[in-house]
């Protein structure tokens, strides 16, 4: 009686040790890893080839557009020259403009040669031939006009400028503009095709991920305890990352403020002084018009550089944010974004304003800046709404668009969204990203007034 139970127990142990899951687990992991490696290699190769094709096309199209802009600039220079030629108060004879036309002609021929090499593949030979023929026709008419001027027939030459050269220049301008539009449309079409291919590859990746997750769930059931420990470690790392991100934000703002002030104060003063010196030098060269013209061009370049530096300084850290506060900075920033991006922004303020300065002001400004950047880069919308509300206990900022939206990607935020959340946390504020009823994205920031007053102080 005692032997039988012992025999049964012995058999059970033997069967249990013979069904160890180790071999099956290792086989499953090997199959999963092999499938992931093979498919990842295939997908990476496809995407790499597609990216290379897209990059080469975009670069070629960009260079072609630059040459077209160069051609357009030369044509505009010709138009200005012809306008001056027809000016009755101009003391110089028409033949004096011949050298300027020759310089423009040399540059225009070079631009046309380069543009012909870069022309988009879908442009027909007839289109390229039409542009070349139109340019040749213009120069032939130009040669006839200057021949009349050199023969002393100023009136006929002016009539030729008015009746022949100017219409030909306008027609050439229209042709180049159409080519630029065609370039843009071609690039948009190529981008749409590329996105379609990316979507297809993405779908295949999701299928692979689903199969991989199923295999991992089957083979990884024995790793639950280790996963729990791993998630606990990740939580600690996340807390450390949040602290580090806040320190990085503070360091970034300090650095940007310093660079902005250096650009505005040091370089701005230097360029201003250069402009003043050039103006004085120009005033002294009354008997040398060519030198005066050269100095005027250099002074214009210095002035343009000064304006660019001031614009860069403002974009890095608006000086008015420290001087006049958030409200005035937003009043300046909204029209600036409209001018730079072409997006129409409806700006509304309500409530009784109260001062928002210090670090609170820069954090709210950066959140507004990032939200509008997302509208420009991701939404595809041409209109946005910004609302700034001053309530008794809070200040609220809303940024809304009715474009494609990015709220669906909040579960996998990019650096911009992470920075927005970190800044809101520094303010002790609430930030919500949602999709309004009309579609698109709505960003709502609510900052307690007590925190604003403490930061401002």
User: What is 328-351 written as a DSSP string?
Assistant: HHHHHHHHHHHHHH--EEEEEEEE
Residue 432 has pLDDT above 80, yes or no: yes
- The verdict on 304 and 418 lying in the same domain is no
Reported as type and span, the H/E element at residue 44 is helix 22-85
Reported confidence tier of residue 223, pLDDT bands at 50, 70, 90: low
Asked if residue 40 is part of any domain, the answer here is yes
Asked if residue 4 is part of any domain, the answer here is no
Exposure string (b/e) for 272-288, b if CB count within 10 Å is 16 or more?
Answer: eebbeebeeebeeeeee
The residue behind tokens 């002035």 is 303
* Cα 424 to Cα 452: distance, rounded to the nearest angstrom: 12
307-331 pLDDT tens trace: 777 667 666 667 777 777 888 888 8
Q: Over pLDDT 90: what percentage of the chain? A: 6
369-378 pLDDT tens trace: 889 888 888 8
Asked if residue 16 is part of any domain, the answer here is no
- The verdict on 304 and 328 lying in the same domain is no
* Cα 334 to Cα 345: distance, rounded to the nearest angstrom: 7
pLDDT (average), residues 100-119: 84
What CATH code is carried by the domain that includes residue 153? 1.20.120.1730
What CATH code is carried by the domain that includes residue 435? 3.30.565.10
- The verdict on 312 and 413 lying in the same domain is no
- The verdict on 61 and 206 lying in the same domain is yes
- The verdict on 312 and 350 lying in the same domain is no
- The verdict on 325 and 311 lying in the same domain is no
Q: 190 vs 171, which has greater pLDDT?
A: 171
Asked if residue 393 is part of any domain, the answer here is yes
Reported as type and span, the H/E element at residue 396 is strand 394-401
Q: 337 vs 63, which has greater pLDDT?
A: 337
pLDDT (average), residues 349-378: 85
Full domain range(s) for residue 297: 244-316
Structural domain total, the chain: 3
| Percent helix, strand and coil across the chain, each to the nearest 5 | 80, 10, 15
* Average pLDDT of the chain to the nearest whole number: 77
Reported confidence tier of residue 443, pLDDT bands at 50, 70, 90: very high
CB within 8 Å of 114: residues ≥ 6 apart = 67
Asked if residue 157 is part of any domain, the answer here is yes
Asked if residue 400 is part of any domain, the answer here is yes
Q: What is the pLDDT of residue 1?
A: 42
Provide the sign of the torsion angle of the four alpha carbons 173, 177, 178, 180, taken in this order.
positive
pLDDT (average), residues 269-295: 73
The residue behind tokens 């213009």 is 138
Residue 264 has pLDDT above 80, yes or no: no
328-353 pLDDT tens trace: 888 888 998 898 888 999 999 998 88
Q: What is the pLDDT of residue 197?
A: 72
Q: 28 vs 373, which has greater pLDDT?
A: 373
| Residue finishing a domain among 215, 235, 261 | 215
**Pseudo-torsion of CA 160, 166, 169, 174, nearest 10°?**
-140
Query: Would you tell me how many other CB atoms lie within 10 Å of the CB of residue 25?
Result: 16
- The verdict on 328 and 312 lying in the same domain is no
- The verdict on 29 and 130 lying in the same domain is yes
- The verdict on 311 and 331 lying in the same domain is no
Asked if residue 235 is part of any domain, the answer here is no
Asked if residue 432 lies in contact with residue 367, where contact means CB atoms within 8 angstroms, the answer is no
- The verdict on 158 and 90 lying in the same domain is yes
* Cα 357 to Cα 133: distance, rounded to the nearest angstrom: 62
- The verdict on 90 and 162 lying in the same domain is yes
Asked if residue 312 is part of any domain, the answer here is yes
pLDDT (average), residues 251-275: 70
Exposure string (b/e) for 121-148, b if CB count within 10 Å is 16 or more?
Answer: eebeeebeeebeebbeebeebbeebbeb
- The verdict on 270 and 385 lying in the same domain is no
Q: Which of 12-16, 48-52, 430-434 has the highest mean pLDDT?
A: 430-434
Residue 409 has pLDDT above 50, yes or no: no
Provide the sign of the torsion angle of the four alpha carbons 370, 446, 355, 348, taken in this order.
positive
Reported confidence tier of residue 21, pLDDT bands at 50, 70, 90: low
pLDDT (average), residues 182-192: 75
């Amino acid at each position: 009686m005692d032997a039988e139970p012992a025999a049964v127990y012995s058999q059970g142990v033997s069967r249990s040790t013979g069904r160890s899951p180790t071999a099956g687990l290792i086989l499953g992991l090997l199959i999963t890893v092999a499938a992931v490696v093979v498919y990842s290699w295939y997908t990476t190769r496809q995407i790499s080839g597609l990216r290379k094709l897209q990059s080469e096309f975009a670069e070629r199209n960009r260079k072609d557009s630059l040459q077209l802009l160069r051609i357009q600039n030369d044509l505009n220079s010709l138009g200005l020259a012809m306008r001056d030629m027809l000016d009755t108060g101009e003391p110089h004879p028409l033949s004096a403009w011949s050298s300027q036309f020759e310089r423009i002609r040399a540059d225009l021929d070079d631009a046309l040669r380069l543009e012909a090499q870069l022309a988009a593949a879908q442009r027909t030979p007839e289109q390229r031939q039409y542009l070349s023929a139109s340019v040749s026709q213009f120069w032939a008419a130009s040669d006839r006009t200057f021949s009349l001027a050199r023969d002393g027939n100023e009136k006929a030459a002016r009539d030729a400028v008015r009746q022949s050269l100017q219409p030909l220049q306008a027609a050439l301008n229209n042709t180049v503009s159409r080519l630029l539009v065609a370039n843009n449309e071609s690039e948009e079409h190529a981008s749409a095709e590329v996105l379609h291919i990316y979507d297809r590859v993405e779908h295949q990746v999701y299928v692979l991920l689903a199969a991989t997750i199923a295999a991992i769930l089957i083979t990884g059931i024995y790793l639950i305890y280790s996963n729990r420990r791993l998630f606990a470690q990740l939580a600690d790392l996340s807390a450390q990352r949040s602290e580090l991100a806040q320190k990085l934000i503070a360091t970034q703002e300090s650095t940007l403020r310093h660079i902005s002030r250096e650009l505005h104060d040091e370089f701005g003063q230097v360029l201003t002084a250069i402009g003043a010196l050039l103006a004085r030098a120009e005033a002294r060269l009354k008997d040398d018009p060519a030198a005066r013209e050269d100095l005027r061009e250099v002074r214009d370049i210095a002035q343009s550089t000064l304006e660019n530096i001031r614009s860069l300084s403002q974009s890095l850290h608006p000086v008015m944010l420290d001087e006049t506060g958030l409200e005035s900075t937003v009043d300046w920033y909204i029209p600036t974004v409209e001018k730079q991006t072409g997006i129409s922004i409806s700006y509304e303020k309500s409530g009784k304003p109260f001062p928002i300065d210090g670090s609170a002001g820069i954090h709210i400004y950066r959140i507004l800046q990032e939200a509008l950047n997302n509208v420009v880069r991701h939404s595809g919308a041409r209109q946005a709404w910004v609302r700034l509300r001053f309530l008794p206990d809070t200040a609220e900022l809303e940024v809304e668009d009715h474009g494609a939206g990015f709220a669906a990607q909040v579960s996998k935020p990019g650096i911009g969204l992470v920075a927005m959340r970190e800044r809101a946390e520094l303010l002790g504020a609430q930030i919500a990203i949602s999709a309004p009823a009309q579609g698109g994205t709505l960003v709502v920031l609510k900052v307690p007034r007590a925190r604003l007053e403490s930061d401002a102080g």
